[in-house]
Chain A
C-alpha cells in the first residue's frame, strides 16, 4: 500500500505567519492527493480534492501543490481558526491511505 509521510509532525507558528506542510508518498500518486483539516473534537473537513484544487467554500489562503511523490499544503497567512491537524490522503491506489498528520499549533 502507499505510505504517506507528513512533516513536520508539529508546526508552531503565530497568527499571520505562513504555514508550509509536507506530504511524501512512498510511490507516485500523480496529483491525486486530498487534504483534510481536523480540529479537536471535530470531524475531518475537506480542504483540497486534488493536489492543487480547493474544495467548495475553502478560503484562498489555502493552496496546494505537487505531483508524483511530494506534495505541499500552504496556508499563506494563518487565521486563528486554522490551528488544527492536517491530514493528506492518496486516492490513486487501493487501499486509500492517510498520512500521520501535521499539527499546526499556536506559538
Chain B
C-alpha cells in the first residue's frame, strides 16, 4: 500500500533552516509528483511547492519563493523540503502529499505530517 512517512518534529530558532523528509513506499517513486503543504495552527492548508515525478522539475508558491527548496533522492525514494529564514509564523505542520495518477495536482495520499515549531 502507498505510504508516505515523514521525519519527526523539529524545534528551531528564528532565522534557522529546517529540512523535512518524506519517504515513499508502495509505488514507483519516480512516476508521481510530490507536493508540500503547510498547515499553521487554525489556518487553512497552504500549498508550498512540488517536485515532478519523471523529471524532478520543481515549482514553488510565490509566497515561499526564495526560502523553500524541494529535492529528492531517488535511490532512497525520499523527498525533502527545506525551509530557510524561519520565523515564528512558520510554526506549522508540514505535509508531503503524492500527486495522483493522471491528475498530478490531486493530492491522493498524505504523509502523517511534521510539526515544526519556531521559537526563540
C-alpha spacing A87/B44, complex, angstroms: 8
B63 on the A face (CB < 8 A): yes
- Quick check: A44 and B62 within 8 Å, CB to CB? no
Chain A residues near B45: list those with CB within 8 A: 36, 44, 87, 89, 98
Chain A residues near B18: list those with CB within 8 A: none
Chain A residues near B105: list those with CB within 8 A: 91, 96
What count of chain B residues pass the 8 Å CB interface test?
A: 21
Q: Which size class do A's interface residues fall under? A: 20 to 34
Grouping DSSP codes into helix (H, G, I), strand (E, B) and loop, the A interface class, with mixed when no group exceeds half, is loop
Chain B residues near A89: list those with CB within 8 A: 45, 107
Chain B residues near A96: list those with CB within 8 A: 35, 47, 105
Q: Which of B57-73 contact A (CB under 8 A)?
A: 59, 61-63
Q: Which of A34-76 contact B (CB under 8 A)?
A: 34, 36, 43-46, 49, 55
Would you mind naming 24 contact pairs between A and B with Cβ atoms under 8 Å apart? Answer: A34-B107, A43-B95, A43-B110, A43-B111, A43-B112, A44-B45, A44-B107, A45-B110, A46-B100, A49-B103, A49-B108, A55-B108, A87-B44, A89-B45, A89-B107, A91-B103, A94-B61, A95-B47, A95-B61, A95-B62, A95-B63, A97-B47, A99-B44, A100-B44
Question: B residues bordering A, Cβ < 8 Å?
Answer: 35, 44-47, 59, 61-63, 95, 97, 100, 103, 105-108, 110-113
Q: Given contacts A43-B95, A43-B110, A49-B100, could you give 4 more A-B pairs where the C-beta distance is less than 8 Å?
A: A34-B106, A46-B108, A96-B35, A97-B47
